[in-house]
Chain A
Amino acid sequence: MTLSTGPSQPPHAPRPPGAAESPQDGKSAPLPGTSEAVAASEAVAASEPLKESPAESAAARPPSPTVAGRRRARAAALTGGLVVALVTLCLVAAGTGAYDIPIGDVARSALHRVGLGGAPLDRVGESVLWNVRLPRVVLALLVGASLGCAGALMQGGFGNPLAEPGVIGISAGAAVGAVGAIALGLTFLGDWTVTACAFGSGLLTVLVVYALSRSDGKTEVVTLILTGIAVNAFAGALIGLFIFFADNAQITQITFWQLGSLSQATWPKVLAVLPCAVAGLVLAPVYARQLDLLALGERPARHLGVDVERLRVAVVVLVALLTAAAVAVAGIITFVGLLVPHLLRMAAGPGHRFLVPGSALGGAVVLVAADLAARTVAQPAELPLGVLTALFGSPFFFWLLRRTRRKQGGWA
């Protein structure tokens, strides 16, 4: 499936000013005689290795505002913008709440903690900031980055822009493991038990979805979405079973967690997901270039030296790691992994070397902002985070579906 999400150009875009004039442009070059045309084209190709060939001058052309160049510039600007937005949002989120702390004081307290001057707050302020707000902000950042990155990886790995851990059931699959761990009161790995169980069942789900939704080396949209429906239904049934067998205290815990929330953030929870999230986020960009090549299809990617089997395994494991990290602490938060990579692809092109780390950054921005909204909009009550992202994400997903359908002229 080919889906164009980049800045669209008119079919006959004007030639960029610096681009090389091909001596045998089919539309514009006069053809005085066949033999001359042939000679001209032979001169072009035969002089490939020579210094003064048109090819070389094309390579040495002055930097013109090409799409690729514009995309690179936009990617750099976006990265800068996202970093600034993330830092600002983190400071604001850390300061905002029932106990307001001015941003300046937050920054001073942070500087004091890392030993760069600054000044500590009063005792209550320090406690609120460091034991309540910051774990929550850090957790939102980790979960958002994991979800954004997992979305970008998954779309690249499936070659399908509608793949998203929530939509196709990976989040629900990971949730089965997490709910199971809570309901059965498992503690074999201490704080890491829920994360580990989420990872195990998440990995299994990715494998199942991958196997079920592929045919002839392609993943068609319809197959993918329908597989997602089936997987989500099955995972929902399993979660229902666990809830049926759980006691009241566990049910409260599960239900609250299922809505998607960061309200029970603590430093131990941050530590519990940190290894999974960091491992996934650090390793994901390694595969960016290969994901670009995978856009050509599996065989052409292999012809360009990609070990497709290995790439597939890597993507599946990374998606499971990242999704498990997010689900284990925050419950099911959908559409972040769909929305963020899409917006970035529209702005800076589909190259994964920007898209994968950029989606992590963008996901963090979105989730820190969403969590800030979730806990301040209806103060003193708190909206469930998952409900909030789904509220904004679902219409977007719907629009995307319509757009994909229109581009394809129906479902393949």
Chain B
Amino acid sequence: MSVRSLTGRLTGRARRLPGRPAPGEAAAEVADLRVVLGGRTVLDDVSLRVTAGEVLALVGPNGAGKSTLLSALAADLTPATGTVRVDGRPVADWSPGELALRRSVLPQSAALSFPFTVEEVVRMGRAPWVGTPAEDEDDPAVAAAMVTTEVAAFADRPFGALSGGERARTALARVLAQRTALLLLDEPTAALDLRHQELVLRVCRERAAAGDAVVVVLHDLGLAAAYADRTAVLHGGRIAADGPPDEVFGEELLSAVYRQPVEVLPHPRTGVPLVVPRRDGRGTEAPARLG
């Protein structure tokens, strides 16, 4: 037995290498999913197809189940019923090492228990590929991810010394460096300024154009409308609507889901839907609540 296969056995990392799903194929699929957390049904009867070459935005109010759905896709939790498939197989059938070659996950908040530098953190994204032919891509993948997310300038700083936005971008760089065919991003824009929000969504588009499937949880409906190919609106643990943003983003649906009257206007130049809360200007009365 070689040293590598021995260490592979000890660390549980013998694995099959992935192929790239063709554009239009399902990179991941959720069928009849029901998730119960702490006795509460968080997701119920959710079916969703994540397509290669597409940016899919998950939107919805707080507590609607967006992050839970993303966790289910990431194989972080065991559903009560239903199946989650990644690259054609139920997630439970993949080993952690095999899943890591197929999907990368950006968590909502980034933490680190030891003072690794930014570059070391980004390089951790290459860990799943150790011992595969793709190991040769390590240096270019790390460098490209750092340039794309604009963290190269502080590559040598310890992660703990970064601002919130810099940490978020470093975490994103780590996910990009992993170079998987499925990216699951949980609120990647939450800690970011305007410019970097746009940058992150452009990166999503580029990855989709290159044939990857991108699932991104977003709070900003304007960003979702501008950058997503498809939007799934979650409401009370179910998918209330699923389709291209200009079809899904209706005033009635969004007002009901968010319990906040909204207006949807086409952008004067691009025609992309703009979603704004209904405000009657300063000094006037608060808008009537929907029944």
Contact = CB atoms under 8 A, between A and B. Distances in A.
Interface in A279-324: 283, 286-287, 289-290, 292-297, 299-300, 302-308, 310-311, 314
B164 to A, nearest CB: 13
Given A46-B206, A307-B12, A55 B140 contact: yes
A305 B199 CA distance: 28
Given A19-B152, A54-B147, A55-B147, A9 B120 contact: no
A215 interface: no
A223 interface: no
B117 interface: yes
B219 interface: no
Interface string B137-157: 001101110111010111111
Given A3-B115, A16-B156, A304 B120 contact: no
A5 B115 contact: yes
B54 interface: no
A132 to B, nearest CB: 38
A305 B203 contact: no
B152 A58 contact: yes
Contacts of A302: 76, 96
Contacts of A24: 150
Contact of A45 (B115, B148, B159): B148
Contacts of A303: 74, 99-100, 103-105, 107
Chain A, interface size category, equals 35 or more
A45 B7 contact: no
- Chain A CB within 10 Å — which of B110, B117, B143, B156 has the most? B156
B113 A1 contact: yes
A194 to B, nearest CB: 28
A292 B122 CA distance: 12
A9 B157 CA distance: 7
A310 B156 CA distance: 32
Interface in B203-258: 203, 206, 209-210
A33 to B, nearest CB: 14
A350 B113 CA distance: 10
A20 interface: yes
Contacts of B115: 2-6, 345, 349-350
Nearest to A352: B114
Interface in B83-112: 95-101, 103-105, 107, 110-112
Contacts, number: 188
Nearest to A1: B113
Contacts of A22: 147, 150, 152-153
A191 interface: no
A310 B12 contact: yes
B11 A290 contact: yes
Interface stretch (B37-45, B125-133, B267-275): B125-133
A247 interface: no
B160 interface: yes
Nearest to A156: B114
Contacts of A68: 117, 119-120, 156
Contacts of B12: 307, 310
A131 interface: no
Contacts of B210: 48-49
B148 A55 contact: yes
B156 A304 contact: no
B42 to A, nearest CB: 17
A11 B161 contact: yes
A159 interface: yes
B124 A293 contact: yes
B10 interface: yes
Contacts of A314: 10-11
A44 B97 CA distance: 30
A13 B127 contact: no
Contacts of B178: 304
Given A16-B156, A54-B147, A58-B146, A307 B119 contact: no
A25 B153 contact: yes
A55 B119 CA distance: 14
Contacts of B155: 16, 19, 66
Closest 10 CB pairs of A and B: A305-B100, A55-B144, A350-B114, A159-B113, A59-B143, A6-B115, A67-B156, A4-B115, A305-B97, A58-B143
Interface of B: 7, 10-13, 15, 74, 76, 95-101, 103-105, 107, 110-117, 119-121, 124-125, 127-128, 130, 139-140, 142-144, 146-148, 150, 152-161, 178, 195-196, 199, 202-203, 206, 209-210
Given A44-B148, A305-B96, 9 more contacts: A6-B158, A19-B155, A22-B150, A45-B202, A55-B143, A300-B107, A303-B107, A304-B127, A307-B95
6 contacts: A46-B206, A49-B210, A304-B124, A304-B178, A305-B128, A311-B11
